[in-house]
Amino acid sequence: MEIIEFDRWKLSADNPNKLEYAGQRPAQEVFEELKYRLESQGYLPDEYFLLDREWEDGQEIPKDADIFCAVDYGGSEGVYLDAYLKWYKDGKPVTKSFITGKTLGENGNDLDRMFLIASAITKAFHGDHATHARYMKIGGVEDDVGGRVVHLSQQEEKVIIEALVQQREQQEEAMSQTESLLRRMTGSISEYVNTVGMRPLRLSDYDKAVLAIRDGDMLAFKESYPKALKDHAGDLLIEAAGRPGSVGRKMTLLLLADMEQFPETAYRTACQKAVDINDPEKVLFLLEQAESHVQDLPSSFHGEMASYAYFEHRFIATEIIKQCSEAQITTAPPRLLEQVAADKNFHALSTLVEKGISGGPNAWRVLHMLTCQKSDCWLAEELLKERMWVATDDYSALHACIQNDAVDVCKRLLDGGIDFDVYQQWAKNYPYDGHEETTQALSDYWSEMQAAQEQAPTSQEIGGMTLG
């Protein structure tokens, strides 16, 4: 497999045969590509494998950074793997934690396995500089009592690989584990078959295309996917969308270029896969192309994707919100506003309100979150000042603000069209104690509003003419 790069490169405008530097890759993108590769080889630690929080939200890998790993027993349990980034700033070395992995077991075999994972990480970024026998672990991960790290000669390796290929053909239920072992030993299944010249695998064109996606083998993918596109376009798009890195983006682009229409459910899943691997570039591209590749696309589709992303990938969600048109935000699910309000993210909230989002039936929940602390009330005031996103008959929204004694926010709601007299009748069905001062202040304000309306002139003189 190709090494994972920290840099971005693009074709030179002056010389198409030359690449030029185009900046650094986001750390989350690099992490997802590494995680995908380790998982495909059966090399993920069995407890967790996590990116350090400092590198989230689009943070880029520092220029000229390098990576190294450290493995050791934990202070109380398990074996830990820590991957660090090291670079130079103003001539001085800087080292920061990048990734942490942990295994459940803590015996010698678990330690050996974690060192092999560290080796796989090093090779992923620096390449395999020599042709030598691989190391593999025989035995299950769950019951790691009799496992061994075995050194294989090239002839022994070939025997095992041939057996694994034969097993893959005959036993569908063992396919996943077999593919992991083959990738661990050869780099890619397709590459091994092509290089060694074994008899062709008895696989359908769709299976070959899926294997090529998981192997990251662009040549094998280009050869196989056109034959499977007619019957499996949606499934292939989902696989490609879930493949991290530039290879996954190129495969996704090829599928979109060759297929005009995809099922809505498949396209939705593909967008979610791109979110799950933390690839904002792919997500935004898929959403940009959605209307031209999905027939009868729901008007709420883009808003739903922003809401989906907000659970674990808020940076992507905010980028989706920026890209969305007013029509797409107007029809977005109201829960999106509630999700953003929970974070007190004023910039994203303001963008949603400006583009016309509705608070919907749960607007009271949004206002409750924005007024439960006095220091946050200004958020609700400013948003209601920009546009009235609460229905004028939503008395539960006004009720929530009164219970939080947010007088100024309540006044904004009254200014926006909520009738205080009707609210008082409605509130009789929802008795509550306290808040008399707030209620009295609003009653006085409402009386002032009514008096001002009664005193407002019913006609206006303009240039000597009276217009009724």
What Cα–Cα distance (Å) separates residue 246 from each residue in 43, 69, 187, 235, 281? 22, 24, 18, 19, 10
In the structure, what pLDDT confidence band is assigned to residue 174 with cuts at 50, 70 and 90?
low
**Residue with structure tokens 């924005």?**
370
Q: What is the pLDDT of residue 156?
A: 63
Half-sphere exposure of 261 (CA within 13 A, CB side): 5
pLDDT number for residue 144? 44
pLDDT the model gives residue 204: 80
pLDDT attached to residue 8: 87
Per-residue pLDDT of 117-127, as tens digits, reads 999 999 999 98
- What angle (nearest 5°) sits at the alpha carbon of residue 120, between those of residues 115 and 123? 125
Residues 6+ apart with CB under 8 A from 156: 133
CB 203 within 8 A of CB 214: no
Q: What is the phi/psi pair of residue 326, to 5°?
A: -60, -40
- Give me the chain's average pLDDT, please: 85
Least confident of 99-113, 196-210, 214-228, 305-319: 196-210
Residue 360 CA to residue 343 CA, distance in Å, equals: 19
Looking at residue 234, its pLDDT comes to 96
State the Rg of the chain over Cα. Answer: 30
Is the distance from CB of 427 to CB of 442 less than 8 angstroms? Answer: no
CA 258 from centre of chain: 26
Structure confidence at residue 43 (pLDDT): 84
What are the tens digits of pLDDT across the range 216-272?
A: 889 989 999 999 998 999 999 999 999 998 899 999 999 999 999 999 999 999 999
User: Please, which pLDDT band fits residue 167 given cuts at 50, 70 and 90?
Assistant: low
Specify the higher pLDDT residue, 185 or 62: 62
Q: Which has the minimum average pLDDT: 63-72, 447-456, 459-468?
A: 459-468
HEC letters along 234-271: HHHHHHHHCCCHHHHHHHHHHHHHHCCCCCHHHHHHHH
Among 11-20, 44-53, 114-123, 290-299, name the one with the lowest average pLDDT.
11-20
Question: For residue range 20-40, what is the model confidence (pLDDT) as tens digits?
Answer: 888 899 999 999 999 998 988
Under DSSP, is residue 237 helix (H, G, I), strand (E, B) or coil? Answer: helix
Number of H helices, E strands in the chain: 21, 10
Q: What is the pLDDT of residues 341-386, one digit of tens each?
A: 998 989 999 999 999 999 999 899 999 999 999 988 999 999 999 9
List the one residue out of 8, 76, 69, 66 whose CA is nearest residue 38: 69
Tens digits of residue pLDDT in 83-95: 999 999 998 999 9
Whether the predicted model's global pTM rises above the 0.85 cut = no
